[in-house]
Amino acid sequence: MSRAAHVSFRAAILRAFHKIGGVKHLAAWAEDNPTEFYRLAGRLLAQEKPPEPPPEAVQGRFVVATQLAMFEDDRPNPA
């Protein structure tokens, strides 16, 4: 499949996803089909490039407390 065909197919899938309800519809489907959702999520997440480490980690100044900050209760829920 050419790069142009891949991009246009991806765009078509995204348009269809939004047309049928987007994230709201996906969440409803996931609630009804948790096993299939986790199977799909696992396959898709395995294909993603891991995030870049923060500059502090690369420079050797990363502190464990920085990682623990994500568990604080006063931070907004990312979902």
Identify the pLDDT of residue 70.
Answer: 57
1 vs 54, which has greater pLDDT?
54
Residue 76 resides in a domain = no
What is the pLDDT of the chain when averaged over all its residues?
A: 79
44-54: b or e for each residue (b if 16 or more CB lie within 10 Å)?
A: eeeeeeeeeee
Specify the 3-state DSSP secondary structure of 54. Answer: coil
Summarised one tens digit per residue, pLDDT across range 38-62 is 999 999 988 888 777 777 666 665 5
Domain region containing 14 = 3-71
Residue 79 resides in a domain = no
Give the count of domains, the chain. Answer: 1
Number of H helices and E strands in the chain, helices first, is: 5, 0
Assigned token pair, 33:
């089909």
pLDDT at 3 over 90: no
